[in-house]
Chain A
Amino acid sequence: DADVTQTPRNRITKTGKRIMLECSQTKGHDRMYWYRQDPGLGLQLIYYSFDVKDINKGEISDGYSVSRQAQAKFSLSLESAIPNQTALYFCATSRGGNTDTQYFGPGTRLTVL
């Protein structure tokens, strides 16, 4: 969905490096999410934010941190990357409410050597 963009789309880095993945949305949604997907597996929730002042840990937050700079921007950081963080990372947004459809970005493929 072009309304949700992620940068970079691909990144190769080395163990111990600090990495930031960025997500921007033009949908005007309050809620934003970061997911990780390992090869052949489903998505796992890392962090989520229901508004600018709200940050919550998901299933697998260890080794990650996030920043919600504005309604439209939600960044994911790996303070010291390790090889088992090699994965596809997806950002998503939603409006909230009783029926809360999530809209996903194109993903960032991260490789940690």
Chain B
Amino acid sequence: DAKTTQPPSMDCAEGRAANLPCNHSTISGNEYVYWYRQIHSQGPQYIIHGLKNNETNEMASLIITEDRKSSTLILPHATLRDTAVYYCIVPLTNAGNMLTFGGGTRLMVKP
């Protein structure tokens, strides 16, 4: 099962794009990449997921490299309310696609 590596923290200016990287070099061909975020002490919130193609929804965009070994979550116009811990997750395929949460990236959006 693939593991993910994320930087522990990042800063972003309000109104600018936030680009959060994730490495998942051992991902296999049928494993999805999920992104969640957790705003201080609240329950984690699903953002987006993808397999091969880039994905976009009302919250964010997900860019997956062609070799699928890394991905980037993009918040196009970060606001102060986007300050949160962002988790990049590859589900455990040998446990019913269960999600496990590592340390994530703490994104601080600054005025």
List residues of chain A with CB under 8 Å of any chain B CB. Answer: 1, 4, 31, 33, 35, 41-45, 48, 50, 59, 88, 90, 92, 96-107, 109
Find the residue from B49, B96, B104 having the highest chain A CB count within 10 A. B96
Chain B positions 67 through 111: 1 when the CB is less than 8 Å from some CB of chain A, otherwise 0: 000000000000000000101000100001111111110000000
A106 adjacent to B98 (CB under 8 Å): no
B41 adjacent to A107 (CB under 8 Å): yes
How many A-B pairs fall under 8 Å by CB? Answer: 57
Q: CB-CB < 8 A to A106: which residues of B?
A: 42-43
Of the four ranges (under 10, 10 to 19, 20 to 34, 35 or more), the interface on chain B belongs to 20 to 34
Given contacts A101-B34, A104-B45, A107-B42, contact A42 B99 (CB under 8 A): no
B43 adjacent to A99 (CB under 8 Å): no
Q: CB-CB < 8 A to A107: which residues of B?
A: 41-43
Interface of A is mostly: strand
Q: Is B21 an interface residue (CB 8 A)?
A: no
Question: Nearest chain-B residue to A33 (Cβ)?
Answer: B98
Given contacts A41-B103, A42-B104, A90-B43, contact A101 B49 (CB under 8 A): yes
B49 adjacent to A104 (CB under 8 Å): no
